[in-house]
């Protein structure tokens, strides 16, 4: 079993889509190991997305991620990272495949409703950013 992290982003939480997204992930075979609602500060968002610090979208991304509540979830299943990336769809919802979460729920490339770890190395950093051993079966 492989573990990954997903975050239901502020745009989706604010539009009351969390339940639909969680149901979709569970239907795709993901087991939720830990889940909570958080309110990231700008500094927290900057720490979480530090890998993108030099990218032109960094400030907009961290401002958006600190604009309202989000729901991080640690999950597992076979081939979890690749499967989550497939279920989420392309970052830009205009390019996302039909039936993906981003195609169905995203508003635009920034407000794209969901984050997912892109590699085992990222998941190993991202999961403990939000969860400790008391909150999540790691």
Range of the domain at 15: 2-37+69-130
CATH for 123: 3.30.70.141
Has residue 43 been placed in a domain? no
Has residue 105 been placed in a domain? yes
- Phi-psi category of residue 24: left, alpha or beta, with phi > 0 → left and psi -120 to 50 → alpha: alpha
| Active-site position among 21, 73, 115, 127 | 115
Tell me which residue of 81, 64, 90, 86 sits closest to 124, measured CA to CA.
81
DSSP bridge partners of 117: none
Has residue 99 been placed in a domain? yes
Tell me which residue of 54, 72, 78 sits closest to 117, measured CA to CA.
72
pLDDT at 138: 67
pLDDT at 134: 75
pLDDT tens-digit map of 63-73: 999 999 999 99
- Give, as one character, the DSSP assignment of residue 89: -
Has residue 95 been placed in a domain? yes
Which parts of the chain have pLDDT scores under 50?
A: none
Structure pTM? 0.94
Residue 52 among the catalytic residues: no
- Give, as one character, the DSSP assignment of residue 33: E
Has residue 110 been placed in a domain? yes
pLDDT at 135: 78
DSSP secondary structure letters along 34-81:
EE--B---HHHHHHHTGGGTTSTTHHHHHHHHTSS-BEEEEEEETTHH
Distance CA 135, CA 138 (A): 9
Tell me which residue of 105, 83, 79 sits closest to 93, measured CA to CA.
105
pLDDT at 5: 97
Has residue 87 been placed in a domain? yes
* Helix ranges (DSSP H) in 90-138: 101-105, 120-130
The structural domain count of the chain equals: 1
């Amino acid at each position: 079993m492989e573990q990954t992290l997903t975050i239901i982003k502020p745009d989706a939480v604010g539009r009351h889509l969390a339940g639909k997204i969680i149901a979709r992930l569970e239907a795709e075979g993901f087991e939720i190991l830990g889940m909570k609602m958080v309110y990231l500060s700008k500094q927290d968002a900057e720490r979480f997305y530090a890998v993108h610090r030099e990218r032109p979208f960094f400030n907009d991304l961290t401002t958006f991620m600190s604009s309202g509540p989000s729901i991080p979830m640690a999950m597992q299943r076979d081939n979890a990272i690749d499967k989550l990336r497939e279920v989420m769809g392309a970052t830009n919802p205009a390019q996302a495949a039909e039936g993906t979460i981003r195609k169905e729920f995203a508003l635009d490339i920034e407000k794209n409703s969901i984050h997912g770890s892109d590699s085992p190395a990222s998941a190993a950093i991202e999961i403990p950013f939000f969860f400790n051993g008391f909150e999540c079966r790691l």
